[in-house]
Structures are given as structure tokens and as C-alpha cells.
Amino acid sequence: MAEFVQLGDRMVEVQLAGRGIRDRRVLKAMAQVPRERFVESGFEEFAYEDGALPIANAQTISQPYIVALMSEAAELKPADKVLEVGTGSGYAAAVASRLAGSVHTIERHADLARIAALRLAAQGYDNCVVHTGDGTRGLPAEAPFDAILVAAGGPTVPNALKSQLAVGGRLVIPVGAREDEQSLLRVTRRSEAEYDEETFGAVHFVPLIGEHGWAEDGTRAASNHIPGRTRFRSLPEMIGAAIEPLPALEDPAFGALFDRFAQCRVVLLGEASHGTSEFYQARAAITRHLIEKHGFTIVAVEADWPDAAAIDRYVRHRASRGSGERPFERFPTWMWRNTDVAAFVAWMRKHNEGKPTGEPAGFFGLDIYNMRSSIAAVLAYLDGVDPEAAAVARERYGCLTPWQREPSTYGRAVLTEGYRKCEAEILRQCQDILKKELDYAASDPDSFLDAAQNARLIASAERYYRIMYYGGAESWNLRDTHMFETLGHILDAQGPRSKAVVWAHNSHIGDARFTEMGAVRDELNIGQLCREKFAEAACLIGFGTHTGTVAAASDWDGEMEVMQVRPSRPDSYERLFHDAGAASGFLEFRRDESLRRCLLEPRLERFIGVIYRPSTELQSHYAEASMPQQFDAFLWFDETHSVRPLGPEHRPSGVPDTYPFGL
């Protein structure tokens, strides 16, 4: 039926590919096998839901994700001979039959084996042979096998099954002393006597009953009473073994850790709060290295375009506009007016000295908020290049004049008839500037990009503040889409070989599809959009900490405070990293597939913005995410410290009040 085909396709996309199954052959096999044909009568409508379903004899048909995970872990090849232990409904054997040359499947319940054999034959899975017997003994007469998959959890890995593997063969089996302590293992036979063992995360299976598994009463079978207990590495131990130690931030070896991302078009660097010094320092060190060694020329940050444009003029040794207005004077001032940013800005200016046109590194803002300065920038630009157009622009922007300082109140105002035409006038102004691109850009392309982007910002901001009045995901999506499109305009302006480093919060640069943002609230973000556009040429690096201090406010527009960050929750990703024992480190998820799979299951992750409320931390600052899918890599600092806002004591004698930005 077409309905089941659609459900199957959605299962593959959301439950399998969406949770990290990458083997295209496995995804294709899961799409081909009609799961509704293997469930009990009356359960067909639930066949493609994300869960196990009951069958006879107190057994289950496994969750689709688990079938795909085990199939992928077994690395089945077209010529392989496979043994499956625990036939159940026959569904997993059918999937394996699409991936391997032949499948022998064994079931201890004779009635289940009979029904499964009929189902498999009726569906034309002729390379499947169903046996009845004790699966823990395997099938010695058919051995050796290239792969063995066990669909029930045993106390240990049965030696009888290990011995029936061919050299190079893979055994995938859940193992644990109790059902709620099972881990999915892959045992690979390297020689007659040598086996490697990997873990693929926590699972929950029915008990493996038989001579080399559990007895019917839940105790270990007599032949399986082995002194002691096999000890599997915990998740913190796995993280501790995989995480790369960080050199000092000022050590060139720190920057060299990120040479692996040199070929990316976009490297996105996150932060777990807007007020943590180590995050700014690390991003600065990484960015310096990518600029100096690998030709990155764009630093695009979660800041307002007109404020960042003032910094860009300073670092690229371009003339100041002389407005006398200091950048980043609006709440939260400490986010960009701090000693770490000042040091990086000073480095950029020095790095750019003497650089030929087109080579200097620029500093650009992606955000949407400073509408007032954007209007002023557009008018100032048009006054210089096209006074008649400037007069028209002043008239069009007039409807926004009352809200330039407090645009968040604009959404209420546009409910009245008199202001509903404002959007059309603002969009027309943006279009007029862009239509004259060739004329304007010929004399000064940098100034044109600045004016054009300010015009885009005004148009986006008008809509943003209008829809923000109603709340919901649309305002967030508009903001992040604007930031992503701004990044695209900058890359386009600098040519097809341009490369960018993005600084923004984890909530913006991590892929929203693998967090509560996307899964629950239908929100997208820059990280998701960059992955969709640039694929492997985009790298998303998250940042995290366990405890320390942070610069934040208790309420919006409140005073900055240095607050103590509470130790991370026991059920969070941050606690796993803390328990791993590393003071700092870098983890690239693709370098350890076993660990990546173990971390896939969503758990809590902490997000602190410019507001921090420790008393309601769980509700205010934690959300569920699947970290290995949200990020490509993760930078960890166990204890961190607050940024230091710029003050008079940071200004050398003899320089103007506008230090460090030279305005």
C-alpha cells in the first residue's frame, strides 16, 4: 500500500538517517522490507513507529533503529554468510537477506520459527533458512560465518558463537548482567585466537536463553558461570580515552589541532555562554591560525552588522565614518566590548598591515538588532553616492522613526492600519539599492556591501520585530535565516574561494535538527542551514564547561554580574565530560565511531546566553540534544572564567576614548 511506503520512507529519513545511520545499503534495505508484513495482526498501523512491538511467546520485533544499527555494525557484504540468533518475526533476517549472500536464522520457539519461515518464503526471501534450536550454541554444521547477529541479551559473549566466526568475521550482540545494563558489542575475529571488542552504546533486549546464555529462571546457565565479570568501559572512560588534550591557547600547537578543517568553506565556532573568557580566547586562537595558515579572510560573528562594520573599518585600515558613536554600546555590552575581543581586534589590525587589496581579513556582523544604526548607515552612504535616492530613502524609512531606539515595540504598532504599509516601503528601498548594484559598487565595493547589507537588515528587522510580537518559532527562524543569508552575501562578495569562520552561540551553530529546537519547536539555525548548503565543507564545533564563573545578567537590560556557574547536572553531556577527568580537550566525533554511537541518544545539554538564572537552571538553561549529530566536534574546558568588560583601565595613555576601535 502507498500509505505504508510513505511511512517506510519517513522511518528511514527520520528514525534511521536522522539518528546517524550512514550506510546507504542498510538504509535501502530498511526501505525495501515491508515491516507491516512481519508484525502481529492488528499492529500493522504501528509497524513504522519508533519502537519495538510484541509478538508471541513474550518476544518482540525489534525497534527499526536497532535493526539498522546492528546491521550497520555487522558491516554485511553481498557475499557474506550470516547467522542470526533469535529469528522472532523474521523481520531482521529479511533485512539481512537484502545485504548478504545467505542468512541462517535460528529460533528456540518452534511456533515462531514456523511462522517466520512462512513469512519469509511468502515474501520471496529465498536466501533465508530458518532453524529451530538453542541459538547460544550457534550452528556448527554451517560455520564459519562472516557475521553473526544476536537479537537477545546475554550475560557474556558466548564462546560457542565466537568460535564459529570466520577470521575477519563480526559478532554483534547485546551483553549485560541485567536487562537495564546491556551494551551492544561488536566482536571481530582477528586470528584463530585473537578478538577485538567495541561497544555501540546502551540497548535493551529480551534475555538470551540457552546453554551459553541465561537459564529460564533468570540465572546464568550452568555452562556460562564464568568467574568474575567482564568489565566494559563507561562513557566517561571512553571520552577520556578519545579526547585530545589541549595545548596552551597561546601555543602554536593549539591552532594546529584545527588544520584538519583547513579545506572547509565555513568553520563555525560555538560557545556555551556569551560571557566565558576561555571560549573567546579559544575562538580567537583557532581563527588566527586559520587566517594565517589556511587563507580564511572572513570573521563573521553573532553581532549587529553596523557595529561590526565599525570594527571592520578599523581592522582593515579603512577610513572611519566619524559619527562619534561607539560600537557595541547596547545591552549586552560585555559580549563584544571585553578584553578578549579587544585583543583579537588588535591582532587583526596588525595582521592586515600592508596586505594587498582583497587579502586583509574582515570582521562582519550577522545579526539583526541594530536597526537604528543601519538606517543611519544607508542614508549616509546614499548621501555620498546618490543624494536623490537618499531623499527617497528618508521618506520611506520615516515610518520606522519612532521605533528606531525601541524596535521591540514595533510589533504592537503595526496592528494599526497606518503602519501596515511600512513593510512594502522598506522592501522597495532595499530593492532599489540592489538594482543599482553595478553603478554603486564600481567606485567602492566595500562601501556598497555595507550599505546593501544594512538595507537588508532593516527589511529583515522590520519583519522580525513585527512577528516577535506574536511569539513562536517564526521570529527565531527569521533571525537565523537572516544571519545565514548575510554570511552567504559576504562569501559571495569575496569570491568563490573565500572562506569564513563564524562565532556564535552553540544554539546557533549546532544543527538544530538534533536538538529540542528542531525536533520539538520547529526551529532552524545557522548550523543546520550551513550543513544543508555546504555539506562536508561546513564544520560545526561546539564548546562546553562544567563549572566556574560567567558574565551575565539576571534580566534583560540588567546590569552585568559575575556569577558562579553551577556544576553540570548528573544527567547531562557536560557531566560525562567532567567525569572523564580531562581539564580541557578536543573531541572530533567521527574519529571514534564506537563513542559517537554511544553518545547518540539525546541527553541534556546546557545553554547559557546573556541571561543566567541558576535558581531555575534546569528549566531555563538545559535542553535535550544529540551532541554527535548536533556538532562535528566539541571543545571542552572543565572550569572556566568570566570575560572582563572593557573599562578605562584597559585604555593606554594618549589614545582617544574610542579605544580599542579607533573611531
Determine the pLDDT at residue 448.
56
SS3 319: coil
Average pLDDT over residues 627-639: 96
pLDDT at 202: 78
Work out the average pLDDT over 189-208: 86
pLDDT digits (tens, 9 = 90+) for 534-572: 999 999 999 999 999 999 998 877 899 999 999 999 999
Gyration radius from the chain CA atoms: 30
C-beta separation of 546 from 539 below 8 A: no
Q: With the CA atoms of 316, 318, 323 and 329 taken in that order, what torsion angle do they form, in degrees rounded to the nearest 10?
A: 0
Confidence of residue 455 (pLDDT cuts 50, 70, 90): low
Q: What is the pLDDT of residue 473?
A: 64
- Give the pLDDT band of residue 287 (cuts 50, 70, 90): very high
Residues 6 or more apart whose CB falls under 8 angstroms from that of 199 comprise: 183, 184, 185, 186, 232, 233, 238, 594, 598
- How far apart, in whole angstroms, are the C-alpha atoms of residue 437 and residue 440? 5
Residue, of 340 and 593, whose pLDDT is higher: 340
Q: Which of 87-101, 213-227, 433-447 has the highest mean pLDDT?
A: 87-101
For the residues 286-302, what does the mean pLDDT come to?
96
Q: What mean pLDDT do residues 191-199 have?
A: 88
**What span, in angstroms and rounded, lies between the C-alpha atoms of 518 and 171?**
36
Element (H, E) at 604: strand 603-606
Does residue 55 have a pLDDT over 60? yes
pLDDT at 468 over 50: no
Per-residue pLDDT tens digits for 330-386: 778 899 999 999 999 999 999 999 787 668 999 999 886 654 554 555 566 556 655
State percent of the chain over pLDDT 70.
Answer: 76
Distance between CA atoms of 503 and 371, rounded to whole angstroms? Answer: 21
Name every residue whose Cβ is closer than 8 Å to that of residue 590 and which is 6 or more positions away in sequence: 596, 632
Q: What is the pLDDT of residues 395-413, one digit of tens each?
A: 554 444 443 444 443 333 3
Q: How many CB atoms lie within 10 A of CB 50?
A: 12
Is residue 62 part of the annotated active site? The answer reads yes
The yes-or-no verdict on residue 648 having pLDDT over 80 is no
DSSP assignment string, 194-216: -EEEEEEEEE---B-BSTTSB-T
pLDDT confidence of residue 61: 85
The catalytically annotated residue of 62, 498, 594, 626 is: 62
d(CA 157, CA 137): 12
For residue 580, the model assigns a pLDDT of 95
Give the pLDDT of residue 458. Answer: 56
Q: What is the average pLDDT across 475-479? A: 76
- The Cα–Cα gap between 371 and 460 comes to 9
The average pLDDT across 260-287 equals 97
Cell of 395: 521618506
**Model confidence band, residue 456 (pLDDT cutoffs 50, 70, 90):** low
Q: What is the pLDDT of residue 234?
A: 77
Tell me what the mean pLDDT of segment 513-525 comes to. 87
pLDDT band at 424 (very low <50, low <70, confident <90, very high): low
C-beta separation of 207 from 218 below 8 A:
yes
Quick one: which of 350, 338, 252, 257 has its CA closest to 303?
338
Cβ neighbours around 526 below 10 Å, total: 32
Mean pLDDT of the chain: 82
Give SS3 for 586. Answer: strand
Residue 203 pLDDT: 81
Contacts of residue 16, Cβ cutoff 8 Å, sequence gap at least 6: 26, 27, 30, 64, 65, 68
C-alpha cell recorded at residue 116:
517466520
Give the contacts of 155 (CB within 8 A, at least 6 positions apart): 175, 176, 177, 213, 214, 220, 224
659 pLDDT band, cuts 50/70/90, is very low
